[in-house]
């Protein structure tokens, strides 16, 4: 059933208000949607690397310490897998784009800070 003229006008007004609302636009942007997943993946990757070191160091002392490091590393990898699966295929494109823009922004900031000093 098509919308009446009054309903279409109300819909256009709502769309215009949403387009002009900066906070709403930032909240639903791809970078905002995937930011928590990116943080979890980064921390889990750091945890996986640290727990790998714990495996090597722990095996020097006791088998149980090495096994604990391995279990922690496995847990971190499972967190990474879960977050990437939750993001999905469409989100992975946005995820990659966001990582590239984050790196580019960081590089620009480093260049800017280096020039000002």
28-82 pLDDT tens trace: 666 566 778 888 999 999 999 999 999 999 999 999 999 999 999 999 999 999 9
Cβ contacts of residue 35 below 8 Å, gap of 6+? 98
Tokens 């280096």 correspond to what residue?
114
pLDDT at res. 98? 66
DSSP letter, residue 21 = -
pLDDT at res. 34? 72
Give the global pTM: 0.55
**Best CA proximity match to 98, nearest among 30, 27, 23, 25:** 30
68-114 pLDDT tens trace: 999 999 999 999 999 888 777 666 666 666 666 767 777 776 777 77
* Cβ neighbours of 16 (radius 10 Å): 10
When pLDDT is averaged across residues 2-7 and rounded to a whole number, the result is: 84
pLDDT at res. 95? 63
pLDDT at res. 99? 66
Element (H, E) at 65: helix 63-116
């Amino acid at each position: 059933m098509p919308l009446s003229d009054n309903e279409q006008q109300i819909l256009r007004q709502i769309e215009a208000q949403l387009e002009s609302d900066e906070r709403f636009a930032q909240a639903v942007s791809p970078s905002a949607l995937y930011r928590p997943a990116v943080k979890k993946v980064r921390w889990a990757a750091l945890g996986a690397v640290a727990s790998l070191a714990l495996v090597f160091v722990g095996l020097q002392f006791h088998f149980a310490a090495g096994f604990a490091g391995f279990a922690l590393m496995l847990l971190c990898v499972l967190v990474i897998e879960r977050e990437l699966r939750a993001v999905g295929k469409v989100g992975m494109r946005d995820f990659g784009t966001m990582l590239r823009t984050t790196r580019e922004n960081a590089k620009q900031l480093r260049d800017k800070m280096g020039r000002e000093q």
